[in-house]
Structure 1
Amino acid sequence: MLDYETLKVIWWLLVGVLLVGFAIMDGHDMGVGTLLPFVGRSDEERRVIINTVGPHWDGNQVWFITGGGAIFAAWPLVYASAFSGFYWAMLAVLWALFFRPVGFDYRSKIDNAVWRKTWDWGLFVGGAVPPLIFGVAFGNLLQGVPFHFDDHLVPYYTGSFWGLLNPFALLAGIVSTAMITFHGAIYLAYRTEGDIERRSRRAAIVFGILMLVAFSAAGVWVARGSFGYAITSVIDPSALPDPLAKTVTAQAGAWLDNYQRAPATLIVPVLAYVAGVAALVLVARGRHLAAFVASSLAIVGVIGTAGVSMFPFVMPSSTMPNASLTVWDAVSSQRTLGIMLVATLIFMPIIIAYTSWAYKVMSGKVTAAYIREHEHSAY
C-alpha cells in the first residue's frame, strides 16, 4: 500500500479531477440549459436544444454525485464543515437541480405553450443557479469560512447565508457562471446548425470574454486583497488527522506563495488564458469540436488555479485560522484512502469508456427534421 502522505496528495488530485469532470461533463449540460430560453426562439428550436443534452445529462450528473461522495469519504471533516456552513446554499443547488429531471422528461409531453415555456425557465434555473452558487462557494473558500471546532472536533459555523454573498464571492460566481455558459454555448454550436448554431457561437464569444475578464479581475483581487492563509508551524504530512495540531496565520497575498515556491505551477493559470483564448478563436472560425476541447482545458485551468493557489488548504477558517482544514489533516484513514483508490482505478476507466461510447453512438447534429420525425420519442 502507498504511504499515507502520498495517498493524501493523490486524493487531493482525484477530488480535483472529479470536480473538473463535473464542470466539463455536466457543465455543458447546464450551460445549454442556461441558454435555452434565449438561443431558442421557437418551440421547435428549443426542442432541438434540449435534445442535444437530453440523452446524456443524467449520466453526466454522476460526476456531481461521485464528487460529493468522494469528499464525504476522503475528507469527512471538510464534508461536515462545508455542509454546515453552506447548508442553505447547497439546498438552493438541490432545489434548482430538481427542475432538470422533471423538465427534461415532462416539458414536451403536453402540447401547451404556457406549460412548455414554464419548464424552459425551470431548465434555465437548473442550469444557471448551480454554477453561480459553486462559484460563490469557491470565492468564500479563498477568503476563509467563519467556522471553528470544539474540543471534540465538532464544527460550528458562525456566519450567515447572506454573508456568503459578499462582493468577491459574487465575482467568483460570475467567473463560474460565465465559464459554464461559455462551455455550453460551444457544445450547442457543435451539435446544431443554422440559426441556433449562429446564436450559440455569438453567445460563446460573449461569455468567453466575460469569463476571461472576470477571472483576471478575481486574480488581481486575490493578489492585492486582504485574504490568504499560511501554515507557520512544522507539520508532519504522514501524521494522523488533527486539524488543531498546527498554527495558521492570515497573510494577505499568501495565495500567491505556491507560485513562487514552485514556478512550474504557473502553467495552471496560464492554461486558463491560453485555452480560453484558443476556444474563442476556434469557435469564431467554426471549429466547434476543437473549441470544445479548448474550453474544457480552460475549465481545468480556472478550477486548477484555485486548487493550486490554496494548496495545502482545502477549507481555511477566518475566525479560527488554526482550525483550517488542509490536505494533511482533514482526511480519512490510510486504509480508507487505499481501498477507495483501488475502487477508483477500477471503476473510473469503465465510466469514462461507457460515456465516450454513448457520446459516439449519439453524435451528430440535432435538427428540426429529427424532432419532427421523432415527435413522440424526442425530448
Structure 2
Amino acid sequence: MDFIPIDYETLRLIWWALLGVLLIGFAIMGGMDLGMGALLPFVARTDDERRVMLNLQGPTWEGNQVWLVLGGGAIFAAFPPLYAVSFSGFYLAMIVILFALILRPVGFKYRGKVTDPRWRSAWDCALFIGGFVPALILGVAVGNALLGAPFDLDNTLRPSYLGNFFGLLTPFALLCGLVSLSMLVVMGASVLAARTEGALAERAAQYGQWAALAAMGLFALAGLWIAFGIEGYVITSAVVTDQASNPLAKTVAREVGGWMANYGHYPWMMVAPALGFLGMAGAAAGIKTYPGAMTIISAGLGVFGIVATAGLSMFPFLLPSSHNPVASLTVWDATSSHLTLFIMLIATLIFMPIILAYTSWVYKVMSGPVTNTSLGKNPNAY
C-alpha cells in the first residue's frame, strides 16, 4: 500500500515493541498492587496497618489495571492469531487470573462494611489471593511461552489447542512464576516502605529486601536453565518480513540454548538482563536504608529488565508451538494487515500521551505518606 508512509516490516517491529511496553507497564504499575496484595498477611499485623495498605492502593489500582486491558486489546487487534491461540488454549488459566483479580475490587469495597474481625479476615484472604495468584500465574504463562505451547494450525490456519491447565504447571514454568512473584513483591514493598511509616514500613522493607535477593537468584537460575536445559526455537528457512501473515510458510528447529542466539547476534540486548540484576540489586541495597523514589525506580528498572529479557530472548517468536514448531507464531507472520497496524498506530500516538499524562497527574495528586492520621481525616477511606 503505497500511501502508507511506514513499511510493513517496521510497523510489525513497532507493534512488537508497543506490546512489550504495555506488558512491562502492567508489570510495574499493576505489580505495585499485586505485590502489596501478596504481602498483606505478612507485613500488616493489625487492622489499622491493613487499612493503611488498602488506602495506599485505593486511589490508583483501577488505573493500573488499564495496562493489562490495553495489552489484551493490542494482542486482539495487532496479533489476532496470537489472541486466538493464547486466549482459547490458556482459557482456564486466564479464568483463574480473572477470578483472582475480581476479588480485589470486591475486597476493597466490602472489607470495611462490617467490623467483625472474622469478616475482615476473610476479605483479607481474598485480597491476598487477588495479589498472589495473578503474580504467580502470569509468570507461569511466560515460562510456557518459552517452553512452547501445545497447539497446531491446520491448512486454513485454524488453531487447535492440545494441552490442559495442569500441563502448564511444569517445573520450569513454576520457576518463572516464582521470578514473577518475587519481582512484583519487590515493587509492592518498595512503595510500602516509601509511603508508610513505623513498623509497617520496616516490615515491608525487610520482605522487599528478601524478595529482591530471591528475584536475582531465581532469575539467574532461570537463565541457566534456558541456556543449558531447555530447547529454544530457531527459524531455519528464509525470513520474510513484509508479506501477508502465514505462520506455516517457514521451517523451525528446536535447539538447546536456542533462546540465547539473539545475544550473540545483537550484543546490545545484554542490557536487559543487566538491568534486571542491577535494578533488583539496587532495590535490595536501598529499600531499608533509603526508601523512596530512587528505590521504587530501581525496582521498576529491575522489573523492566527481567520482562524485557524474556521478550528479547524469544524474538521474533511470540508463541512457539511445542507440538508442531512450524506452526509457531512470530512477529513476521502473526500480525494484522499493513493498513490495520498503521491505523492503530495513529490512534495509539493520539491516546497514549493522554493516558500517560492523566496517570502522572493522578500519582502527583495522590503522592505523600499514608498513615493512620491521614486516614482519620478522610471520610471516604476504606
How high is the TM-score relative to the length of structure 1? 0.98
In the alignment, what sits opposite 1:298? 302
In the alignment, what sits opposite 1:186? 190
Superposed, 1:168-317 pairs within 5 Å as 168-317=172-321
CA contact (8 A) 2:35 2:135 kept: no
CA contact (8 A) 1:44 1:371 kept: no
Q: Secondary structure at the match of 1:359?
A: helix
Matched, 1:377 2:377: no
Distance 1:71 1:128 in 2: 24
In the alignment, what sits opposite 1:14? 18
In the alignment, what sits opposite 1:45? 49
Matched, 1:99 2:103: yes
In the alignment, what sits opposite 1:162? 166
From 69, 85, 90, give the equivalent of 1:81. 85
The amino acid that maps onto 2:38 is T
Give per-residue Cα distances to partners, 1:36-88, cap 9 Å, x unaligned: 12111111110011111101001111111111000010000001101122110
Q: Secondary structure at the match of 1:230?
A: strand
CA contact (8 A) 2:35 2:132 kept: yes
Q: Which moved more, 1:119-128 or 1:105-114?
A: 105-114
CA contact (8 A) 2:190 2:291 kept: no
CA contact (8 A) 1:186 1:292 kept: yes
Alpha-carbon distance, 1:288 to partner: 2.2
Alpha-carbon distance, 1:282 to partner: 1.5
Matched, 1:149 2:153: yes
Distance 2:112 2:370 in 1: 16
CA contact (8 A) 1:147 1:320 kept: yes
Q: Secondary structure at the match of 2:127?
A: helix
Give per-residue Cα distances to partners, 1:174-233, cap 9 Å, x unaligned: 000001011100111111000111000001001111111100000000011131000000
In the alignment, what sits opposite 1:366? 370
The amino acid that maps onto 1:282 is G
Q: Secondary structure at the match of 1:228?
A: strand
The amino acid that maps onto 1:30 is L
In the alignment, what sits opposite 1:32? 36
Can you give the 5+ residue segments of structure 1 that lack an aligned partner in the other structure? none
Matched, 1:348 2:348: no
Alpha-carbon distance, 1:348 to partner: 0.8
Distance 1:264 1:362 in 2: 37
Matched, 1:116 2:120: yes
Alpha-carbon distance, 1:284 to partner: 2.5
Distance 1:215 1:86 in 2: 24
CA contact (8 A) 1:279 1:295 kept: yes
The amino acid that maps onto 1:80 is A
How many percent of aligned residue pairs carry the same amino acid? 52
Distance 1:372 1:284 in 2: 27
Distance 1:107 1:336 in 2: 45
The amino acid that maps onto 1:7 is L
Distance 1:58 1:328 in 2: 34
Q: Secondary structure at the match of 1:107?
A: helix
CA contact (8 A) 1:228 1:252 kept: yes
Matched, 1:71 2:75: yes
How high is the TM-score relative to the length of structure 2? 0.98
CA contact (8 A) 2:234 2:258 kept: yes
Alpha-carbon distance, 1:21 to partner: 0.3
Runs of 4+ in structure 1 off by over 6 angstroms are: none
From 129, 132, 135, give the equivalent of 2:136. 132
The amino acid that maps onto 1:46 is R
Distance 2:60 2:110 in 1: 16
Alpha-carbon distance, 1:281 to partner: 1.2
From 327, 334, 344, give the equivalent of 1:330. 334
CA contact (8 A) 2:202 2:288 kept: no
Distance 1:316 1:197 in 2: 43
